[in-house]
Structure 1
Amino acid sequence: MYTKKCLIYEEQSEVSSSSQARQKLEGLLNKNMRIRMTDGRTLVGLFLCTDRDCNVILGSAQEFLKSTDTFSQSEPRVLGLAMIPGHHVVSIEVEADSLDDTQGFGANH
């Protein structure tokens, strides 16, 4: 009997944490994201969606190549709609101008 109560509590806890994660993700929709990939490229665009495998869809995406010379700024390549496989994602950042719109993305609500 005790184990059933623990399992029910754990299931409720998982539902609560998953709904909080979902709310945070929904708060990031249509925000500018900067995604660094394993091959050194950086993609910047609007966060449209993700899935369970951490694949990310960016709209109005631009690609920036990794520069060997720190002083040279290459022109971005316009991609439009882009899908980034989750296993190629190194880091994801919210652009500073859209961070103000999220009203405390990192804060607990």
Structure 2
Amino acid sequence: MASVLEENGYITESCPRTADSDVESGDTARHKLESLLNRNMRIQMTDGRSLIGCFLCTDRDCNVILGSAQEFLRPSDSFRIREPRVLGLAMVPGHHIVSIQVELETSPQYI
């Protein structure tokens, strides 16, 4: 790791990387995210709620945007039926995400 003292007083540190490995890992991650676009997924949140919706996008902070989202509360003693609350477009903060499950692709049934 090399440290460089700049004129403005900041110290810049850089570690040697190969450009090829950065491009390959970035391309792999990008292709994986692109393969998840418009797929239905379930997101478990830290407060016990679940959101189910269509994956539209994410950002560097791992925030996720779901389209046509529905919210399911965790069952309690006061109610047993898990009826969804329709949210529509929803942003889930990355720091509240516990797990993400992607719905398996199934071939459409044609009559």
Aligned mates of 1:44, 1:95 — CA distance in 2? 10
Q: Report which stretch shifted further, 48-57 or 11-20.
A: 11-20
Aligned mates of 1:61, 1:22 — CA distance in 2? 23
Letter of the structure 1 residue corresponding to residue 51 of structure 2: L
Answer 1 or 2: higher relative contact order, Cα 8 Å, separation at least 6: 1
Tell me the residue number matched to 2:24: 16
Larger of the two Rg values belongs to structure = 2
Overall identity of the aligned pairs, in %: 67
Secondary structure in 2 matching 1:73: coil
Residue of 28, 42, 48 corresponding to 1:34: 42
Aligned mates of 1:54, 1:63 — CA distance in 2? 19
Aligned mates of 1:73, 1:95 — CA distance in 2? 22
Tell me the residue number matched to 1:57: 65
Per-residue deviation, 1:95: 1.4
Residue by residue over 1:46-67, the C-alpha shift from the partner in whole angstroms, topping out at 9 and shown as x without a partner, is: 0000000000000000000011
Tell me the residue number matched to 2:16: 7
Unaligned stretches of 5+ in structure 1?
A: 1-5, 102-109
Q: Alpha carbon RMSD of aligned pairs, Å?
A: 2.0
- Which structure's residues are more often helix, by fraction? 1
Secondary structure in 2 matching 1:53: coil
User: How many matched pairs?
Assistant: 92
| TM-score with structure 2 setting the length | 0.75
Tell me the residue number matched to 1:104: none
Aligned mates of 1:81, 1:88 — CA distance in 2? 17
Aligned mates of 1:14, 1:67 — CA distance in 2? 44
Segments of 4+ moved more than 6 angstroms: none
Aligned mates of 2:74, 2:17 — CA distance in 1? 49
- Which structure's residues are more often strand, by fraction? 2
Unaligned stretches of 5+ in structure 2?
A: 1-14
